[in-house]
């Protein structure tokens, strides 16, 4: 169950930057740095004083991005590398690898439709990570997160390099959106709102636990149904608004940077840092991966806070989500097994 203290810890985790001593500066690699998410993410990471070395990679057009951000007057060095080979970026190991590489969706597509394009990309990157930087904390942004995180884990497992607590699917954007939309409905400041998110990262699998929102909100009936629908389908809202020019990039980059910064603070010894993410999980007997609130620590996930107690309505949504999530996970695992 989520205690009041944990909810407060989660809201404290929203604090952006950490204090950093020189000897605790970390290295972060962005794979897919020239893309719609990669570019603003690289910018946000360059602003964080806890990052000593920023390595940016993409298959094309990354020299401009790397050179551009390298002119910003923060102390981190920026190295860029291009092509299919990730050796240059990952050799010697980096602390955190963030992966936004791959294709975004177009109007009419859902995240699952990206599987055929992005599964192979995630597979190849996972092979390189297993070979060159198996100790990294790995954050997967590329969709469909529900299937690509299992692919990455299977590849690392087959190389004997899997540390499940170090592989996270980025679902932070769901928490970000939930806080924004709840604050709008309840007339609160979004920065004060924390809501646990469970399930996965797709319209059918995102389950916001509004009953556990801090501060408590009283939203019922049609208002509640509309709010939950909006949180679940917020990615579609952006795809529609962009009208053929892709999906959410700026808010995705912000959300991913929030998770990276939370991990940096945990790596640097801060305790009780809570964020939700999609990870390998023992929470349910028949679903191997699940998004839940997590306490972050020096090794990635220090403690899984689980799904907690849900309202009747949330339980119904959660059961529906699990039917889809199982299929998404199986799809990823099958792809990896067939390729290995
Ligand atoms: C989002 O939630 O906006 C991202 O996962 C991108 C998408 O395709 O919706």
- Ligand 1 near 26 CB (within 6 A): no
What ipTM was assigned to the predicted interfaces of this complex? 0.98
Cα of 144 vs centre of ligand 1, distance in Å, is: 9
From the list 174, 236, 288, 328, the catalytic residue is 174
Ligand 1, atom nearest to 104 Cα: 8
Q: What is the pLDDT along the chain (340 residues), one digit of tens a residue?
A: 455 555 545 554 455 555 666 557 999 999 999 999 999 999 999 999 999 999 999 999 999 999 999 999 999 999 999 999 999 999 999 999 999 999 999 899 999 999 999 999 999 999 999 999 999 999 999 999 999 999 999 999 999 999 999 999 999 999 999 999 999 999 999 999 999 999 999 999 999 999 999 999 999 999 999 999 999 999 999 999 999 999 999 999 999 999 999 999 999 999 999 999 999 999 999 999 999 999 999 999 999 999 999 999 999 999 999 999 999 999 999 999 999 9
Q: For residues 205 and 214, is the Cβ–Cβ distance under 8 A?
A: no
- Ligand 1 near 252 CB (within 6 A): yes
Ligand 1, atom nearest to 239 Cα: 9
pLDDT of residue 24: 79
Q: Does the pTM exceed 0.90? A: yes
* Residue whose entry in the numeric block shows the structure tokens 């991966």: 289
pLDDT of residue 6: 54
């Amino acid at each position: 169950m989520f205690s009041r203290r944990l909810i407060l810890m989660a809201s404290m985790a929203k604090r952006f930057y950490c204090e950093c001593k020189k000897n605790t500066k970390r290295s972060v690699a962005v794979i897919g740095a020239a893309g719609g998410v990669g570019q603003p993410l690289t910018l946000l990471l360059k602003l964080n004083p806890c990052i000593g070395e920023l390595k940016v990679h993409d298959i094309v057009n990354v020299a401009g991005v790397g050179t551009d951000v390298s002119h910003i007057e923060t102390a981190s060095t920026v190295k860029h590398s291009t092509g299919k080979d990730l050796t240059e970026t990952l050799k010697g190991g980096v602390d955190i690898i963030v992966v936004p590489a791959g294709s975004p969706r177009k109007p009419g597509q859902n995240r699952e439709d990206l599987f055929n394009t992005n599964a192979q990309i995630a597979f190849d990157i996972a092979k390189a990570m297993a070979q060159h930087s198996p100790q990294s904390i790995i954050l997967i942004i590329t969709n469909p997160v529900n299937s690509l995180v299992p692919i990455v884990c299977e590849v690392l497992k087959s190389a004997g390099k899997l540390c499940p607590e170090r592989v996270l699917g980025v679902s932070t954007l769901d928490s970000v959106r939930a806080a924004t939309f709840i604050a709008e409905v309840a007339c609160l400041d979004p920065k004060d709102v924390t809501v646990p998110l469970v399930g996965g990262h797709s319209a059918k699998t995102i389950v916001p636990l509004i009953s556990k929102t801090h501060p408590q909100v009283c939203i019922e009936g049609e208002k509640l149904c509309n709010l939950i629908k909006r949180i679940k389908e917020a990615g579609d809202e952006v795809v529609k608004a962009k009208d053929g020019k892709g999906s959410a990039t700026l808010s995705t980059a912000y959300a991913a940077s929030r998770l990276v910064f939370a991990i940096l603070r945990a790596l640097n010894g801060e305790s009780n840092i809570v964020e939700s993410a999609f990870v390998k999980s023992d929470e349910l007997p028949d679903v191997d991966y699940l998004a839940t609130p997590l306490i972050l620590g020096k090794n990635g996930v220090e403690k899984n806070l689980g799904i907690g107690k849900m309202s009747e309505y949330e339980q119904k949504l959660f059961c529906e989500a699990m039917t889809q999530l199982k299929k998404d996970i199986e799809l990823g695992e099958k792809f990896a097994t067939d390729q290995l």
